[in-house]
Amino acid sequence: MPFNIPDTNQKRLVIVGGGFAGLTLARKLEKSDFQVVLIDKNNYHQFQPLFYQVAMAGLEPSSIVFPLRKLFQGKSNIFIRVTEVQSVHPEQNILETSIGQLRYDYLVIATGADTNWYGNERVRAHAIPMKSVSEALYLRNTIFEDYERAVTAAQAEDRKPLLDIVVVGGGPTGVEVAGALAEMRKYVIPKDYGNLGQDEIAIHLIHGDPRLLNSMSAQASAKAEAFLREMGVKIWLDKVVTDYDGHTVFVNDGTTIRTDKVIWAAGVTGNRIEGLPADAYTRGNRLKVNAFNQVEGTENVFALGDIALQTSEEKYPNGHPQVAQVALQQAKCLAANLQRWKKSLTPLPFRYRDLGSMATIGRHRAVADLPFWRFQGAFAWFVWLFVHLFSLLGAKNKLFVFINWVANYFTYDQSLRLVIKPWKRPKTVTKNVLVE
């Protein structure tokens, strides 16, 4: 048996995805009599809200990830397996993965969402996404490699495409990335690259809607736009990027922008798993679920978080927002319902409690929409820092992030501007001579 998991009289719950939803569900059932198998393509949990700080050299990748096995040490009913899911056979209760088949009694899909390229394969081939810590690290390397090239470029026209950056998407990720880039231009460039002028670097934020942060209040949207404009970000509203060939961005109004770097934060889409009912998939490849997070057309398959679309709640007829709080609350509700089903009790429908949303633009610049209070500025920024710091897993991660933030706050500097390239094994060896 490839998975090397014992067959017991326990009900086997298989969770696909170690993000906010999957991890929370597993933790809630770690002391239960379920046998829980947590599957992910990585052996760690990623804290997505801080990806942009890794990309901007504010944090090391290790500060925002947490090993899954460490979290469940000593938990005999929890099994971690690193593999990728290929398909599911609901009629047989079988999950097909890259290391073999796995039987389940209950299956939970908590795979989150991936970058939405809207079918544009050329953009996908050249733009940089921001949906994983490895992508954030790649972006960091790219930015500083281009700065190093720009330092040695004699002509301004040769430096410009290396320095200018286009961010596509004006949601929280796009806004936070654009703000962090503006701060890097102000504080890092004069210190590390003295012969590059700040005015040489143009930061463009292109958004397809009339206002930024369109999931937040109009007040928060207007303030975020004002903050970014104060920081020198060039904002393009109600404009759509139609193409990018690696050197030129094409906008739907006929404008072009010359740049070697495009950061794509324009939307998300779910990853389809073969074998689930075709009718269960809806817009954005989300899975339609009922009030108990059961996937439409199935009995013992559930979906949580960004991949799930639940329209049964009157307040959210188009589904819940794709944010961490929804995933956390759904996971807690499902954990309770699985226990209730096992005891032949009536399950409780999921009801989302909106705790608010926040976005940070830069030092002393943030916006917050809480259920009964909306505020912006320095206080919102400190609240954002506090909330995200204590949402991290692990005391060591919290400590390291706190130290980095404090150091950066007082020195206006980051010490993590390293270009760390992955090592590549030589392809062949011929007569003791390495051949690439």
| pLDDT per residue as tens digits for the range 359-387 | 999 999 999 999 889 999 999 999 999 99
Residue 1 Cα distances to 36, 81, 99, 103, 166, angstroms: 17, 13, 10, 11, 49
225 vs 177: CA distance, rounded Å: 13
Where residue 277 falls (left for φ over 0; alpha for ψ -120 to 50; beta otherwise) is: beta
| pLDDT per residue as tens digits for the range 313-347 | 989 999 999 999 999 999 999 999 999 998 989 99
Strand 165-168 and strand 262-264: the pairing is parallel
87 vs 375: CA distance, rounded Å: 46
- Split at pLDDT 50, 70, 90, the class of 175 is very high
The DSSP 8-state label assigned to residue 432 in this structure reads T
**16 vs 159, which has greater pLDDT?**
16
293 vs 334: CA distance, rounded Å: 7
Number of neighbouring beta carbons within 10 Å of residue 218? 11
Q: Under a CB-based contact definition with an 8 Å cutoff, are residues 173 and 265 in contact?
A: yes
306 vs 22: CA distance, rounded Å: 11
* Secondary structure class of 269 (helix, strand, coil): strand
* Secondary structure class of 383 (helix, strand, coil): helix
Amino acid identity, position 38: L
The pLDDT of 14-43, averaged and rounded, is 94
Q: Under a CB-based contact definition with an 8 Å cutoff, are residues 128 and 173 in contact?
A: no
Residue 282 has pLDDT above 90, yes or no: yes
Angle, in degrees to the nearest 10, between helices 218-230 and 172-187? 20
**Measuring CA to CA, which residue among 312, 307, 311 is closest to residue 331?**
307
184 vs 261: CA distance, rounded Å: 16
What pLDDT sits at residue 1?
53
What pLDDT sits at residue 170?
93
| pLDDT per residue as tens digits for the range 351-363 | 999 999 999 999 9
Number of neighbouring beta carbons within 10 Å of residue 394? 17
**104 vs 413, which has greater pLDDT?**
104
- Give me the phi and psi of 43, to 5 degrees please: -100, 25
Where residue 306 falls (left for φ over 0; alpha for ψ -120 to 50; beta otherwise) is: alpha
**Measuring CA to CA, which residue among 135, 114, 120 is closest to residue 269?**
114
276 vs 259: CA distance, rounded Å: 41
310 vs 216: CA distance, rounded Å: 20
Amino acid identity, position 135: E
The pLDDT of 220-226, averaged and rounded, is 95
Q: Which residues contact 174 (CB under 8 A, 6 or more apart)?
A: 167, 168, 205, 207, 212, 263, 265, 266
Query: What are the structure tokens assigned to 163, written together?
Result: 């320095």
Domains contained in the chain, CATH given: 12-113+270-342 (3.50.50.60), 121-267 (3.50.50.60)
Query: What are the structure tokens assigned to 401, written together?
Result: 């992030």
Q: Which residue has the tokens 């970014």?
A: 228
Query: What are the structure tokens assigned to 3, written together?
Result: 């998975």
* Secondary structure class of 370 (helix, strand, coil): strand
Q: With 0-12 CB in 10 A as exposed, 13-18 as middle and 19+ as buried, what is 52?
A: buried
